[in-house]
Structures are given as C-alpha cells and as structure tokens.
Amino acid sequence: MSRLAFRAVAAVVGVAVLAAYLTAALLVADALRFLWAARPDLPVLLALLAATTVGSAYLSYRIGTAQILANLEGERVPRKRAPDLHRRVDALAARMDVDRPDLYVTDARTPNAFAVGGGSGSGALVVDRSLFRVLSAREVEAIVAHELAHLEGNDGFALAMADGVGRALVGFATVLALPALLALSGLAVGSAWIRGRPGDRSGPFARLHRALANALFAGFVLATLVARSRSRKREFAADDRAAEVTGDPVALARALRRIERAAEPSWPFAPLSTYKRTEDPAERWLSTHPSIDERVERLRRHAAERGPTRRIPVGPSGGRSRRGAGD
C-alpha cells in the first residue's frame, strides 16, 4: 500500500473512531443531563446519595464478613475443649463493652489472631493454633484483649464504611467525568489516525486525557490513604485498650515481637518473601498496620509511664502455660 493510500485509510479510520467516541460521550452526557433534570430537591438528592453510599458500604461489609467466616478453614471451639481460653475471653469481655465473641481456631501455621464482626452482633474471634506454641498465657491474653478492643470499637465496620464512602465518592466523580474522558480519548486516538500516526499519544488531547485520568486515580489513592491511616490509628487504639484492660502493656509488646519473629521467613530467598520489613514510605502509607517497631516502642513508653506493672487478673493464674485450644 502506498503512503498516500495509507494516509487515506488512516484518515477514514480516524474519523470513524472519533465519531464513535464522541457519540458515546454525547449519549453519556445526555443520560447525565436527564438524571440531573429529573433530580429531586437538593436536600433529598444529597440524602439519597448519602443513603446509597452508606448502604453499599454496609452491604459490602456484611457480605465480606459473612464470606470470611464461610471460607474460614478452622473450627468453632466448644468450651469443653479449651476451658482456659474460654475463661480468659469471658473475663476480658466482661471488663470491656463488648459481647462475648464466638471463638474459632485455625491451623494455618502462621501465628495470628483477628476479629470480625462486632457492633450489633457478637462477632467472632479467630486464633491460629500456632499462636499458643509461640506465646505465653499472658501474651495470648494480651493479643486476645487487642482483638476484643477491635470488636468493642466496631473497628471493622468503621473502617469498611470509611473505605466504602471514599471509593463511592471517587466513583461518582468518575461517572461525572466520563463524557470528558470519552471525548478526549476519541480526540486523541482519532487525531493520531488522521495524522497517519496511529500509535502516537503525545498530542494535546492525549495529555489532557492522561491528566484527567491521573486526577481521578489520585482521588482513589487519596481515599485509600485516608482509610489506611484510619486503620493504623485504630491499631494503636486497640493496643492502648488492651494495655489498659490487662494492665500489662509489656506482655502485648513481647507478643507482637514474638509473632513478628515467628512469621519472618528464615529460608535463603527470604528477601523475595511477601513478609518483610520495609522502610519505603509508600508501602508504609498503604499499610493497614503500623510497624511492629512503632507499636512496641509505644507500648514500652506506656509501661514506663505506669511504673511497675500491675497486672489485672482476667483469667486463671499460672505461669507460662502453653495450652492450646485443641489440647
């Protein structure tokens, strides 16, 4: 094909692409104008948007919680199988403003514990069996108190709502910007074809499209950072509450450090592992948890301010019993 023929074909393709994109942009803009014209009064509109945003976030939270429990590779532990652990959970829950959660034990071989649910329901406390091999009884108690603090503050729901609201706001902004995105994309692609350079994305329309898309992406990142920042603050608050309830912040600090050491890989290719410490600011900003170093240092400061540890007994006394839920 001669260069002249190629330019003619490219021009036809460019015009067709431009027409298709602009038609789609006009259709979306007309739909948005129709919705705007049919809108209720502003207070009602804002109330509907707020209800939709909160409702979708709540539904996502409830479905997510149900899926976690449904997919949990563990078992619900009856009281007769782990009376000591149940007594400790009972005593801690009695000291806190939280309903006693259901108790589950998993066997993922990674020391861990987490809480799901809370609020109007009793929630669930999930503990991995390996935790009992790594921690002493007092340290397990401190970890349990930390997780109960999450249930007490209904942190899972609050964080899911913050994340859902942020994503919904970015979603609304994206819908409003969709006509402009389509029009700019069509102008960028169509003009490149018309110029006979289909792969060229350096034109002004392409730059404007990237700028708008990057602005929307920045909004999504900002919403994520706000939600993650809130999550890290709730981790600190749960540490504080656990230290207050047990009266032993050092036990929680020791537990966190031992869990960190137990979870850290020791095999030769450990730098390639998904578990690693990082000093990268971006990774730390996107993390849902503060670093173990920060949490341990903070708990040790609390212990120093308290003076000699006055542990509040919340369960049966004993030294370093390592009795697990499955024993």
What confidence score (pLDDT) does residue 327 get? Answer: 40
- How far apart CA 161 and CA 51 sit, in angstroms, is 12
**Each residue's pLDDT tens digit, 32-54:** 999 888 888 888 988 988 898 88
What confidence score (pLDDT) does residue 265 get? Answer: 56
Q: Is 123 exposed, middle or buried (0-12, 13-18, 19+ CB in 10 A)?
A: buried
What confidence score (pLDDT) does residue 275 get? Answer: 41
**Band of pLDDT at residue 205, cut at 50, 70 and 90:** very high
The percent of residues above 70 in pLDDT, for the chain, comes to: 86
Determine the average pLDDT of the residues in 50-76. 83
Pick the more confident residue, 220 or 322. Answer: 220
Determine the average pLDDT of the residues in 68-77. 81
**142 and 252 in contact (C-beta within 8 Å)?**
yes
Distances (CA, A) of 185 to 93, 101, 171, 210, 271: 57, 52, 19, 9, 41
Q: Is 187 exposed, middle or buried (0-12, 13-18, 19+ CB in 10 A)?
A: buried
Determine the average pLDDT of the residues in 151-169. 88
Q: Which of 56-60, 242-246, 267-271 has the lowest mean pLDDT?
A: 267-271
CA 95 to chain centre: 28
**Each residue's pLDDT tens digit, 274-312:** 344 556 677 778 788 899 999 999 999 988 887 665 555
Determine the average pLDDT of the residues in 183-193. 93
In the chain, domain spans: 1-72+154-319
Determine the average pLDDT of the residues in 57-85. 84
Pick the more confident residue, 243 or 273. Answer: 243
Answer whether 0.85 is exceeded by the pTM.
Answer: no
